[in-house]
Amino acid sequence: MDELLTRALNAATDAGADYADVRCVESTSEAISVRGPMVEALERSEGVGVGVRVLSGGAWGYAATAKVDGDSMVELGRTAVAVARASARVRSRPVELVPEPAHRAVWMSPVKTDPFEVSLDEKVGLLATAASAIEGRPGIRIGRASLDFIRQRIKLVTTEGTHVDQTITHSGGGIEATALVDDEVQTRSYPGSFRGDLKAAGYEFIESMNFPEHTERIADQAVALLSAPECPTKKTTVVLDGHQMMLQVHESVGHATELDRVLGMEASFAGTSFVELDHLNSYKYGSELVNIVSDATVSGGVGTFGYDDEGVAAQRTPLIENGILVGFQTSRETAAVVGADRSNGTMRAEGWENFPLIRMANVNLLPGEGSLEDLVADVDDGIYMATNKSWSIDDKRKNFQFGCEIAWEIKAGKLTRILKNPRYTGITPVFWASCDAIAGRSEWKMWGTPNCGKGQPGQTMRVGHGTAPARFRNVAVGVSQ
């Protein structure tokens, strides 16, 4: 394979590329979905292909194919250069890249038990047992369980001498209980919604989630939600669990601090950001308790890697320190635009087919102090919301609205009755400024989300977020039609 990639690289250089990188991605995945005792989907997928990215005439060109042979690699390198030259027709400022040392390395994410070596019998059995147990609870209509395993081997070579070979394995899964009455549907899931949770790990992560221990609880909560009162409409204190904090960080900090959005490069589709370049090191993004980092080095994160897809070594970069904006997520191109010395390494692409974009690696809210119980104890009248159910935010990442699966009313420092259809809305910097407590290390956990969309052609990325439960004051809740 190395020889083929070198052929593509040489073809691009011979055709006039000023810079080129060639990325081969070989992927294997398995997805199993079970409803009650029945397998609804059992899909195994594999693929391989190569993408060539070049700079020629000061503009980018990208060409990708699944046909991995010598002649095709030569054609691919030449095509990428031809595409770049077409781009240069409508380019006034040449693309510049900040320097990055050449890296030669082999990197693998840690795996204790290879999920692809675990028998299908065992996986299906685990899911069918859990989903059947859920469907066996009174009042439950649907019990679902799922597992997802993805392995990618990514080889990257560049004209600057980088040659890295990475193998990354992600494992995930979850269970879900749905109760229905008339035209009302209520769902509870564990450990999170939308197929559970994902980690850079092996089958040991699936075992650690211990599905059987949670089937009864989520089933009974789904049923209880049907007869629970609606979340009231008012301004109040809100405590959010770690899973909802994952989405809160993702939408209102992660995307807002991507430098390509700040620079307007995603304007027409995903949008821009309320954050401006001159906000750096002065803008009050949140309260002094709020510390958020972009961290591609943290153990277990699905945004953890050795090198990003333009060969920049993984880093940990502060984005918000004590409530002040101190950093952006960058690429080699955008770092050059803002005069930075080096990219902080957040360029990733979905597969070999796509041009790398700035994508969140693991954007983590650093832990504070105390427990969830402590956060609740300090609330006289408020609401605790758990497990994300819906999300929406404006094109500048300012006005957001989230829904959760379940909430509990807080009275005199204690969780009391269940509330259904909890939703809250806010304006990003106002909301983060109202943060007056973040739970400590013992409550902090890495989450993985499988479906972050960005770019055209559309790309889906797995993104990690470390979060702990947090408390916010004076939040608008109970948004209804």
The residues in 421-440 that bind another protein, with binding defined as CB under 8 A, are 421, 423, 425, 427
What DSSP line would sit under 154-183, residue for residue?
EEEEETTS-EEEEEEEEEEEEEEEEEEETT
> Which residues ranging from 249 to 308 are in contact with another protein (CB under 8 A)?
263-269, 271, 274
Q: For another protein, which stretch binds (CB under 8 A), given 149-157, 212-220, 292-300, 451-459?
A: 451-459
Cβ of residue 412: shortest distance to another protein, in angstroms? Answer: 30
Residue 415, interface with another protein (CB under 8 A)?
no
3-state secondary structure of 460: strand
Nearer to another protein, 87 or 109 (CB): 87
The reply to whether 182 sits near another protein by the rule CB under 8 A is: yes
Confirm or reject binding of residue 140 to another protein (CB under 8 A). no
Query: Judged by CB under 8 A, which of 3, 183, 278, 341 binds another protein?
Result: 183
Nearer to another protein, 208 or 392 (CB): 392
Give the footprint of another protein on residues 394-413 (CB under 8 A): 394-396, 398-399, 401, 403
Choose between 73 and 372: whose C-beta lies nearer to another protein. Answer: 73
Determine the size of the site formed for another protein (CB under 8 A): 83
Among 4, 7, 20, 49, which residue interacts with another protein (rule: CB under 8 A)? Answer: 49
Q: Does 243 bind another protein (CB under 8 A)?
A: no
- Which of 10, 13, 18, 39 is the binder for another protein (CB under 8 A)? 39
Q: Which is nearer to another protein, 68 or 372 (CB)?
A: 68
Rounded Cα gap, residues 280 and 34, in angstroms: 48
Among 87-95, 157-165, 199-207, 288-296, which window interacts with another protein (CB under 8 A)? 87-95
**Binding piece for another protein, criterion CB under 8 A, among 76-84, 155-163, 221-229, 441-449:** 76-84
Which one, of 191, 232, 187, lies nearest residue 404 by Cα?
A: 187
Give the span between the Cα atoms of 228 and 380, in whole angstroms.
Answer: 21
Q: By CB under 8 A, is residue 149 in contact with another protein?
A: no
Residue among 252, 171, 320 nearest 475 (CA) = 252
Of 59-67, 306-314, 367-375, 436-444, the window that binds another protein (rule: CB under 8 A) is 59-67
Under the criterion CB under 8 A, does residue 223 sit at the interface with another protein? no
**How far is 139 from 156, CA to CA, in rounded Å?**
53
Query: Which region among 106-114, 118-126, 361-369, 377-385 touches another protein (by CB under 8 A)?
Result: 118-126
Sequence-ordered list of residues with C-beta below 8 angstroms from that of 4, at least 6 positions apart, any chain = 24, 50, 68, 69, 70, 73
Write down the least CB distance from residue 474 to another protein, Å: 15
C-beta of 80 vs 156, nearer to another protein: 80
Instruction: Classify the C-alpha dihedral 379-382-384-385 as positive or negative.
Output: negative
Q: Which spans in 364-474 are helix H?
A: 372-377, 428-433
Pick from 67, 112, 411, 417 the residue near another protein by CB under 8 A: 67
Let me know: does 133 contact 143? Beta carbons within 8 Å. yes
* Structural contact between residues 403 and 420, judged by C-beta atoms closer than 8 angstroms: no
Q: Is residue 244 within the footprint of another protein (CB under 8 A)? A: no
Site string for another protein, 372-391 (x = CB under 8 A): ------------------xx
Q: Which residues contact 417 (CB under 8 A, 6 or more apart)?
A: 228, 229, 408, 409
328 binds another protein (CB under 8 A): no
Q: Per-residue x/- mask for another protein, residues 334 to 373, rule CB under 8 A?
A: -------------------xxx------------------
Closest approach of Cβ 278 to another protein, in Å?
Answer: 16
**Closest residue by Cα to residue 48 from 24, 31, 71:** 24
Q: Report in angstroms how near the CB of residue 122 gets to another protein at its nearest.
A: 10
Q: Give the integer Cα–Cα distance in Å for 243 and 446.
A: 9
Q: Pairing relation of β-strands 292-295 and 316-321? A: antiparallel
> Measured between alpha carbons, how far is residue 241 from residues 221, 246, 405 in Å?
16, 9, 11
φ/ψ (deg, to 5) at 334 = -70, -30
Q: Any residues with CB less than 8 A from the CB of 29 and at least 6 apart, and which? A: 44, 45, 46, 148, 149, 150, 151
What 3-state DSSP class applies to 360?
Answer: coil
Among residues 12, 17, 20, 62, the one that binds another protein under rule CB under 8 A: 62
Q: At how many degrees (to 10) do helices 215-227 and 120-135 cross?
A: 30
User: Looking only at residues 5 through 34 of this chain, which bind another protein when binding is defined by CB under 8 A?
Assistant: 33
User: Which of 6, 13, 47, 160 is in the footprint of another protein by CB under 8 A?
Assistant: 47
- Residue 184 engages another protein in binding (rule: CB under 8 A): yes
Which member of 10, 97, 129, 185 binds another protein (CB under 8 A)? Answer: 185
Cβ atoms of 333 and 311 within 8 Å: the answer is no
